[in-house]
A and B are shown apart, each in its own frame.
Chain A
Amino acid sequence: MSHATPTAMPDNASAAWSLNSKVPEGPIAEKWTRYREHVKLVGPNNKRSYDIIVVGSGLAGASAAASLGALGYNVRCFTYHDSTRRAHSIAAQGGINAAKNYQGDGDSIDRLFYDTQKGGDFRAREANVHRLAEGSASIIDQCVAQGVPFAREYSGLLSNRSFGGVLVSRTFYARGQTGQQLLLGAYQALQQQVNAGKVKTHPREEMQDLVIIDGRARGIVTRHLDTGELHTYAADAVVLGTGGYGPVYYRSTNAVNCNITANWRAHRRGAGFANPCFVQIHPTCIPVQGDEQSKLTLMSESLRNDGRIWVPRKPDEKRPPSEIPESDRFYYLEERYPAYGNLVPRDVASRNAKYVCDDGLGVGASGQAVYLDFRDAIKRFGHDTIAARYGNLFDMYKEITAENPYDTPMRIFPAVHYCMGGLWVDYELATTIPGLYSIGESNFSDHGANRLGASALMQCLNDGYFVLPVTIGNYLADHFRDKVKTSEPAFAQVKAESQARIDRIAAIRGKRTPMSIHKELGQIMWDHCGMSRNAAGLRGAIDQIRDLQKQFWTDVKIPADTMTTNQPLERALRLSDFLELGETMCLDALARDESAGCHLREEHQTDEGEAVRDDVNFAHTAVWEYRGEGAEPARHTEPLTFEALKPTTRSYK
């Protein structure tokens, strides 16, 4: 295996980055096997002399921390929640893909690889994607062994269903609570390691900054959310499994506390941020009902298996949906995409919902919704079968909207759901800062410009269970007994900077609550960096965000006592990072002068509104380098090579 020298770090802001992906040599199907055969190992008795920090306890963080602990490393796992069981992975409903081919419908590792690459619109690094497909089956094996109660057939065999963007049934699920069950599996594995003394969990401690010594990540500073105290921790490596940044849009399907702070602080310390503008808008969410709404609720994409999406053909339709005859219903996905119909990928489904609503065909009080109708499925399969498949989702819908989807179609609209962008990592999941790793949604690596349904859980668990525990050893083996202590001046320095930031926010004593500024940021992002973007809108958004940043730093208001639970302070700290991220997202969207996956630039589409990719100029990952407050970040690129699968125009017709 040809391991080149570690990625060179820029010694100043203007130095060019060499973004070495470290993809191993060889045919794509053999790369990961060859890597594992040649990777450096840390001996069983030496592992105990290494300390590893894992930030985040979602699917990626918990699975990594549990696996590293079981291998023998000393692990600390941090979360801002009160327990390591609460991370937002828990809310994933639909399922997890695996190329088991249990249904005998022609599935294979290659097909899962192909579907993921095509779904991502050829903007992902293909070696990583193939590795993900290779690991998929082992994830199911691992989770079943942990006792994850996946759905079963009467025969006792595991059950599958299909998901958007694919033509096979490869999705494993546990009712509508797949993420919950997978996370609890990882959580339980983590608790086992806590009991064994190999992992120490740090609930209610939120990472504030990264400590770098001699160019390597050596620890973190955290704030204890109950006491307000700052703590420092040293380690041999730091792993960020801190999820996505959907709440930069204020309302999203993410939990209200999801944030970018850990990643952004690492970015400010030198970690490249890749493709920040690649954000997935999920097609099937419950529409916004009012200005005070704090989050959006997803209706699992699995509903598209049996639900039919339509709007009235006439813009001025006043009849209730049940009285609209077949001839006046516009099943726009089935008409436009006969092969995939209601199962087109998420970005295609979302955009089409936007188009029909822009055409004035939207339903509901706001006109910003389309129907998802189960009438025909209930007729075909019966009420009980549909209730068994989607009962909890129907209940959830009824609870939120006070409408019964068994009788009347659901109203759905797209909402911000998943961030394909994230910290840039090489094949080993290492960021541009040596010793700093990023796993799960927190990195950018596997989903390109659009993630297929049921692939997020797969990536988090593959990174955490099977990839990181191998690749991190390759780094640690070179740094045996090379310890630092928190008494090093760098820790005191970074801690003082974190405290200064808190004190600065507390000292503003302005007039605007963090929530009001956050809402304003969200609206700018949704309007100009949402489902479709254009150069003028993005330029305007950048100006607006810069203005909002100034307002934040002169006019934000939080309770004065920072040495106690202070939730407005928590929000303000996260918001200050969202404000910087939002600007970089718009810069990224502006610079990517093509349409790809979820990123639709209005300047680049066919007459039918299909995205037009530009493989000549944009077959690369954009990686942003932070260059100081007020300075424009630098855009670097990692070219994407397509050896196994040549890019084609995505067509789901």
Chain B
Amino acid sequence: MRLVLHIWRQAKTADKGHFERHELDGVVADMSFLEMLDLLNDKLLESDKLPVVFDSDCREGICGTCSLVINGYAHGPGHAAATCQLYMRDFHDGQELWIEPFRGGAFKVVKDLMTDRSALDRIIQAGGYISVPTGPKPEPNSNPIPQDIAERAMDAAACIGCGACVAACPNGSAMLFMSAKVSHLGSLPQGQPERDQRVINMVEQHEEEGFGSCTNHAECQAACPKEISIDFIGQLNRDYQRAMLLKPHKLRGKLPNA
């Protein structure tokens, strides 16, 4: 298989960046998309050209590191798959591919196809946890959790934090990412004590980072490799409104950490 690749090259964050055209021979159907880029990079290096910087790690769709926009789609044309789970059998000989980094909201391109997504970590830091120190804990089976609730929490918790939702969103919003954590923890009994404070703090951090707001395009859901539903954005909005109504006015705004 022979491909024509238009790859985004950008030496550093401050640079403007451009597409660079490559023709690549010897691509076989069983190769993964990232192995195709490995092949390209090895050929570039052999011919004294600069290999393309791209991020990846587990290569099985769970670590959330890989982050390519392929022909305009975050994580490419595959359904419910991260970039590393794409195989070249889904592409055809002679096809032209435009490969770009994740962009949008608070994301910044570090180099070529690599993006700085640290803003997502800071949203979690603002409240995406249940505050428990390490130490003796109650017996878990003394607090049964109905299976449907546990399953719903797991549906949300499946988020891999890749940022495809941001890259796919016309508003550059990370609300799908945020709503997944708010809904995961807010659905469980253990998450109730901090539920209101958590959602307020996370939403404010989301805003502070410069992410946009959701206007129901649902592009995030379509791009999400873990099929996180935008229903969770509904849950986020409801939790946020409830929290704001319940909190005394003077406490609205950033709450001190408990």
Interface residues of A (CB under 8 A from B): 63, 66-67, 70, 81-88, 90-91, 102, 138, 140-142, 144-147, 149-158, 174-175, 177, 179-181, 184, 187-189, 191-192, 194-196, 201, 203, 226, 255-257, 289-290, 292-295, 297-298, 395-396, 399-400, 402, 465-466, 469, 511, 513, 515-516, 557-559, 564-565, 567-568
Contact = CB atoms under 8 A, between A and B. Distances in A.
Given A195-B126, A201-B121, A513-B42, 16 more contacts: A67-B134, A83-B64, A90-B58, A142-B134, A142-B135, A180-B62, A180-B160, A189-B134, A226-B110, A256-B57, A292-B28, A295-B58, A295-B59, A515-B42, A564-B12, A565-B111
Contacts of B64: 83, 85-86
Interface string B103-128: 00000001110101110110011111
A294 B35 contact: yes
B209 to A, nearest CB: 14
B130 A145 contact: yes
Given A513-B45, A515-B42, A293 B60 contact: no
Contacts of B50: 559
B35 A293 contact: yes
Given A70-B133, A567-B51, A141 B140 contact: yes
B161 A83 contact: yes
Contacts of A157: 141, 144
B24 to A, nearest CB: 12
Most buried by B among A146, A155, A395: A146
Given A191-B128, A557-B45, A142 B137 contact: yes
A145 B132 contact: yes
Contacts of A180: 62, 158, 160
Nearest to B159: A184
A576 to B, nearest CB: 17
B60 A91 contact: yes
A257 B134 CA distance: 30
A81 B41 CA distance: 20
User: What are the 8 A-B residue pairs with the smallest beta carbon separation, nearest first?
Assistant: A156-B144, A188-B129, A141-B137, A144-B140, A67-B134, A289-B30, A149-B154, A152-B150
24 contacts: A85-B121, A86-B58, A90-B58, A138-B137, A144-B137, A146-B132, A152-B151, A153-B147, A158-B141, A180-B160, A189-B129, A191-B125, A195-B257, A255-B58, A256-B58, A289-B30, A293-B35, A294-B35, A294-B59, A469-B134, A513-B45, A516-B42, A559-B45, A559-B51
A511 B185 CA distance: 53
Interface residues of B, number: 78
A192 to B, nearest CB: 5
A243 to B, nearest CB: 12
A396 B161 CA distance: 19
Given A138-B136, A294-B59, A156 B128 contact: no
Interface in B63-88: 63-65, 80-81, 85, 87
B150 A290 contact: no
A513 B46 contact: yes
A465 B134 contact: yes
B1 interface: no
A564 B150 CA distance: 45
Contacts of B154: 149, 151, 174-175, 181
Given A191-B128, A557-B45, A565-B111, A88 B58 contact: yes
A396 B118 contact: no
B153 interface: yes
Contacts of B257: 195-196
Contact of A294 (B38, B112, B120): B38
Given A399-B85, A565-B53, A568-B51, A91 B124 contact: no
Given A91-B60, A147-B130, A203 B118 contact: yes
Given A256-B57, A396-B61, A149 B118 contact: no
A188 B124 contact: yes
Contact of A156 (B127, B129, B146): B146
Nearest to A388: B151
B134 A70 contact: yes
B134 A66 contact: yes
B1 to A, nearest CB: 12
Given A83-B120, A91-B58, A149 B184 contact: yes
Contacts of B121: 83-85, 191, 201, 203
A13 B138 CA distance: 51
Given A195-B125, A226-B110, A568-B45, A88 B132 contact: no
B111 A564 contact: yes
Contacts of A295: 58-60
B124 A565 contact: no
Contact of B147 (A141, A152, A469, A564): A152
Contacts of A66: 134
B241 interface: no
A52 to B, nearest CB: 15
B243 interface: no
Contacts of A298: 60
A83 B117 contact: yes
B62 A91 contact: yes
A175 to B, nearest CB: 6
Nearest to B64: A86
A191 B124 CA distance: 7
Given A293-B35, A399-B87, A149 B150 contact: yes
B32 interface: yes
Contacts of A194: 125
Contact of A255 (B41, B63, B125, B160): B63
Given A146-B132, A156-B145, A81 B153 contact: no
A83 B136 CA distance: 29
A154 to B, nearest CB: 5
B77 to A, nearest CB: 13
A565 B46 contact: no
Nearest to A89: B63
Given A88-B57, A149-B150, A226-B111, A141 B139 contact: yes
B31 A102 contact: no
Nearest to B79: A399
A177 B56 contact: no
Most buried by B among A142, A187, A567: A567
A407 B169 CA distance: 38
Contacts of A151: 150, 154
B65 A86 contact: yes
B34 interface: yes
Contacts of B42: 513, 515-516
B152 to A, nearest CB: 9
A278 B59 CA distance: 25
Contacts of B136: 138, 141
Contacts of B131: 192
A565 B110 contact: yes
B97 interface: no
A140 B46 CA distance: 50
B157 to A, nearest CB: 5
Contact of A81 (B31, B39, B65, B139): B65
A297 B61 CA distance: 10
A85 B118 CA distance: 11
A558 B114 CA distance: 19
Contact of B138 (A86, A145, A188, A196): A145
A188 B110 CA distance: 25
Nearest to A92: B62
Given A147-B190, A191-B129, A515-B38, A256 B59 contact: yes
A549 to B, nearest CB: 20
Contacts of B35: 292-294
